[in-house]
Structure 1
């Protein structure tokens, strides 16, 4: 019996039309007595703008549109998909899953559909699960989506966090293949660090218990992120029998340009081999990697045959990487 692999055959993404520049956000915050500036945000994060969804637009809406574009790219009809995985920390509802809502919006039924919650590492986790299911024959054509409306959980009285995040969705079609596309994957988590990045609230008896807004210890996240991203990158390269020199493109989670620059340095990669969209999208959590991937593919920066390293780190504390030949 021949080996079975998975390969990306299509990419897609969608950003809400409302674009908010740093200056526009600074003006909004100033109305509430919160002081920040374009210079302050750019210097610390590299972010210049982000997109916010309108109040009646949910994660599933963004995800469904990104999925349609990925399906179009793969030249597939939604009815051929037998697995839908949505990575999100901002689901439409407590249940059902956002993936089931996306399934409904695509007009299909019957295939497996579920969410993965690993915050900013979510897309890497979802890709790993989909790759495993395809390799074992449990699926043949999968939609893997990262979608977020982080604007709903931001504390606009905390300038250190509310300037960082944005909304958006990215998707890929992953199909069974005789030749390797996904070369290696690796996932990790360390629950000792749950408190450094979290939304410590929940719904009980019709009321919100705790705090439903994002909390982050930026320095602690930065310190952990830089170390684990280098380690997981080297580990996944070793698994695939590759080295730093084999990487054509690095697509890290788009959280902060300083973290991305540090990771590139440690992997001996020039920044012109790093896909950067954080300046225009902000941190879109689980959507950031597929958004950046689709942007690079559609601009023809990344081409078929390129070796691409995806890596993410997020609340939990979670991290992971996927090495693939596009």
Structure 2
């Protein structure tokens, strides 16, 4: 019997500490005027004494409560993050323990700002088999701990947060919410990177691993996105018998407001089709799309043709087409 996949719940968490542009201007040479002009960002949230798994666990608990599902009924937990608690164990396993999902297997996906797209796609495949029925897909990012606060070209963009969905399998075609997808990668280790650990050069007692801060070449990122993402969206639409005009909404990676505006302009679509929160919460990497998705669902919006489009380090990018008209 064919199986379908629906979104049964959506949830989000933002740390309580709000950081303004003026506050950042006290620790680096920048200003509220410059940041808003170049990024559209006004505020962001930073997690203080709270790691990635802790934020993700709060989202997971909300998802269970909303769906009225026991933690022991979860089969799979996938966490998208590039700011994990540690390289190992996976942040997903820490969330699994925190919520008591003793029957679930859990692991992380690292696809940077496209992480929620890749994680959603992966969980969808598991649930379309006969063996698995419920999955938590969570994007959680504690980006503030990865930043170089002397690099004003990067540090002003980012914020912390977590969001996700609970997916369930179904045998009813009307429940099918994940309609189509298109995932891609274009290998480039220099445009965006974070957490590099160099190999040792000799055997010495002084050897100790060191990790570098997040880095992005803003101009190269802008060029890649503007040259590749609008054609990708058009091609994806065409493959599914649509045009950008047919889409009800497009939630892109919340890189910065100016880039979202540029994508909308290149697609000749109004900004009203592009819900966003980057101005309020900053660039939250993989969590950005999930945060906006949760916002529109909590606001009662049920788009029939919703495109999620992520792009980030890798360079990884991709889109998923959702039909949320039957979301409860």
TM-score by length of 1: 0.92
Q: CA deviation at 1:306?
A: 2.9
Would the aligned equivalents of 1:59 and 1:98 in 2 still touch at CA under 8 Å?
Answer: yes
Residues of 2 paired with 1:257 and 1:147: CA distance?
A: 21
Q: Map 1:13-32 onto structure 2 (within 5 A).
A: 13-27=12-26, 29=27
Residue of structure 2 in register with 1:277 after alignment:
277
Match status 1:196 vs 2:191: yes
Residues of 1 paired with 2:182 and 2:194: CA distance?
A: 26
Would the aligned equivalents of 2:6 and 2:168 in 1 still touch at CA under 8 Å?
Answer: yes
Unaligned runs of 5+ residues in structure 1 are: none
Residue of structure 1 in register with 2:152 after alignment:
159
Q: CA deviation at 1:298?
A: 1.3
Q: 1:49 to 1:123 in 2, by over 3 A?
A: same
Residue of structure 2 in register with 1:137 after alignment:
130
Would the aligned equivalents of 2:310 and 2:319 in 1 still touch at CA under 8 Å?
Answer: yes
Would the aligned equivalents of 2:73 and 2:101 in 1 still touch at CA under 8 Å?
Answer: no
Q: CA deviation at 1:138?
A: 4.2
Q: Map 1:1-326 onto structure 2 (within 5 A).
A: 1=1, 3-27=2-26, 29=27, 34-54=28-48, 56-177=49-170, 178-179=172-173, 180-191=176-187, 193-199=188-194, 201-202=196-197, 207-209=208-210, 212-300=212-300, 302-303=301-302, 306-326=304-324
Q: Which moved more, 1:68-77 or 1:216-225?
A: 68-77
Residues of 1 paired with 2:199 and 2:62: CA distance?
A: 37
Q: Which moved more, 1:222-231 or 1:238-247?
A: 238-247
Would the aligned equivalents of 1:228 and 1:319 in 2 still touch at CA under 8 Å?
Answer: no
RMSD: 1.7
Q: 1:234 to 1:7 in 2, by over 3 A?
A: farther
Q: Which moved more, 1:127-136 or 1:282-291?
A: 127-136
Unaligned runs of 5+ residues in structure 2 are: 201-206
Q: 1:231 to 1:136 in 2, by over 3 A?
A: farther
Q: 1:165 to 1:155 in 2, by over 3 A?
A: same
Q: Secondary structure at the match of 2:25?
A: helix
Q: CA deviation at 1:257?
A: 1.1
Would the aligned equivalents of 1:11 and 1:294 in 2 still touch at CA under 8 Å?
Answer: yes
Q: 1:226 to 1:82 in 2, by over 3 A?
A: same
Q: CA deviation at 1:299?
A: 2.3
CA deviation profile, 1:270-304 (whole Å, cap 9, x unmatched): 1111111000110100111101111121122x22x
Residues of 1 paired with 2:52 and 2:183: CA distance?
A: 24
Residues of 1 paired with 2:266 and 2:110: CA distance?
A: 28
Residues of 1 paired with 2:63 and 2:24: CA distance?
A: 31
Q: Secondary structure at the match of 2:242?
A: coil
Would the aligned equivalents of 1:183 and 1:240 in 2 still touch at CA under 8 Å?
Answer: no
Q: 1:84 to 1:135 in 2, by over 3 A?
A: same
Residues of 1 paired with 2:140 and 2:108: CA distance?
A: 10
Q: 1:233 to 1:108 in 2, by over 3 A?
A: same
